[in-house]
Amino acid sequence: MNRFVRLATLCTLPALAAVDAANAVSTTALVEERTVAREYRLDGVVEAVNRGTVSAQTQGEVLEIFFDVDDVVEEGELLIRLKDTAQQARVAQASAQLKSARARLEQAHEEHKRILGLFKKKTVSRSAMDAAEAELKSAQGAQEAAEASLDEAREQLAYTEVKAPYSGIVTARHVEVGEMAQPGVDLITGISLNELRVIVDVPQSVIPAVRELGESRVYVGDRVIEPTKITISPVADAGSNTFMVRLDLPAGKEPLFPGMFVKTGFVIGKKEELVVPKEAVVYRSEVTGVYAVDEEERISFRHVRVGRALGDTLVVLTGLRDGDRVALDPVAAGIGLREQLEARQATAEEKHDG
């Protein structure tokens, strides 16, 4: 290349690099201190609020089982059907007794009405009137007893159809078809995934702050869940000096299942921390850094060490100061840095050739 042409080209490089660098850092953000919560992190276990075992409430042979382990059940669906021959017979018997009691009561009413009319005419004695009243009360009591017996018989009949008390998933089945169910015998176990909570054992040194501030979070991967309610046990465990804390979770927020381990954070105070936008941080192998921009729009790559995430920002542990400016487009900033370096090199070569 002609020496004069090369010199002219080298002279224009700094200006071009400055334009490119300005484009690369057109979107920047300030590193700033922010008041954030101090958290005490602990492991917690997810459990279902509604979990339990359905037991038999009447005697009968197991005729049908409609659900098995891992089946999804809706509230009120029929789980198990028991043989109801004996219960049907009790209902029929109680119905017959009620009919008899009603007939007796009707007869007692008529007799009481007749005796009362004669008593007013003073043609029967007081003892006859008292006997009629006693018979009427006895008939009324017999009807009430018969109605109660029928209600009980119908309830026992209803127990032969075991239904789901809430929507959930079957976790265990304790009987087989053909077995004899007895009152109190376990039939089927299930849990509901609609209402979940996290159980955490919190050291007693942290409990005062937890009681006072009442703030906590549950971390599932990179997602944060805000509990709807915090319940602290009033009694500490004597062996571990910890209090059991329950964190109720909002319904249907995350794919959580009972038995899973999650991270929890309890707010125990406030502190000032330096934060940087997430999009400004770049990761190259084992190196973490940002592209810093000074007042003269010069770009430099800074090695940083970052901590936990706070929304769309990251806590900066080392490498930056309050008020530093960082590029929000690391790719463009990297190109701008390379062009700046090339421009400096070209300038140095020009001085050397001159």
Q: What is the mean pLDDT of residues 90-95?
A: 96
The closest of 216, 231, 215, 223 to 256, measured between CA atoms, is 223
Same domain, 62 and 171: yes
Mean pLDDT, all residues of the chain: 87
Residue 197 has pLDDT above 90, yes or no: yes
> Do 289 and 349 share a structural domain?
yes
Residue 188 sits in the same domain as residue 226: no
Same-domain status, 174 and 186? yes
Query: Do 281 and 338 have their domain in common?
Result: yes
Which one, of 284, 266, 150, lies nearest residue 208 by Cα? Answer: 266
Q: Based on the structure, what is the number of domains in the chain?
A: 4
CATH code: domain of residue 134: 1.10.287
pLDDT surpassing 60 at residue 18 = no
Least confident of 18-27, 32-41, 315-324: 18-27
Residues spanned by the domain of 166: 57-83+160-192
Q: Is the pTM of this model over 0.85?
A: no
Q: What is the mean pLDDT of residues 34-58?
A: 90
Confidence of residue 353 (pLDDT cuts 50, 70, 90): low
Tokens for 44, please give them.
Answer: 């917690």
How far is 166 from 189, CA to CA, in rounded Å? Answer: 12
C-alpha dist (Å) from residue 319 to 31, 36, 41, 196, 343: 11, 19, 25, 41, 26
Residue 31: CATH number of its domain: 2.40.420.20
Same domain, 292 and 316: yes
Residue 307: both structure tokens together: 């901590």
Query: Of 269, 302, 318, which closes a domain?
Result: 269
pLDDT digits over 219-254, tens only? 988 788 999 999 999 999 989 999 999 999 998 756
Angle, vertex CA 328, rays to CA 325 and CA 333, nearest 5: 85
Lowest mean pLDDT among 1-5, 157-161, 208-212, 287-291: 1-5
Position 23 confidence tier, pLDDT thresholds 50, 70, 90:
low
Domain final position from 154, 183, 216: 154
Q: Is 284 helix (H, G, I), strand (E, B) or coil?
A: strand
Nearest-10 crossing angle of helices 3-24, 330-353: 150
- Both 224 and 109 in one domain: the answer is no
Which pLDDT does position 203 carry in this prediction?
Answer: 95
Q: What is the mean pLDDT of residues 271-275?
A: 87
**Do 186 and 76 fall within a single domain?**
yes
Query: Is 186 found in the same domain as 243?
Result: no
Q: Which of 199, 197, 217 is closest to 268 using CA atoms?
A: 217
My answer on whether 262 and 199 are in the same domain is: yes
Residue written as tokens 């059907």?
A: 81
Over pLDDT 70: what percentage of the chain? 91
- Rounded to 5 degrees, what angle do the CA atoms 100, 101, 107 make? 90
Which of 251, 269, 287 marks a domain boundary? 269
pLDDT surpassing 50 at residue 4: no
Q: Which CATH number covers residue 206?
A: 2.40.30.170
Cα–Cα distance measured from residue 98 to residue 94, given in angstroms and rounded to the nearest whole number: 6
> Does residue 168 sit in the same domain as residue 64?
yes
198 and 188 in one domain?
A: no
**Alpha helix ranges (H) inside 240-315:** none
Tell me: the pLDDT tens digits for 318-347?
Answer: 999 988 999 988 888 888 888 888 887 777
Task: Give the integer Cα–Cα distance in Å for 171 and 51.
Answer: 10
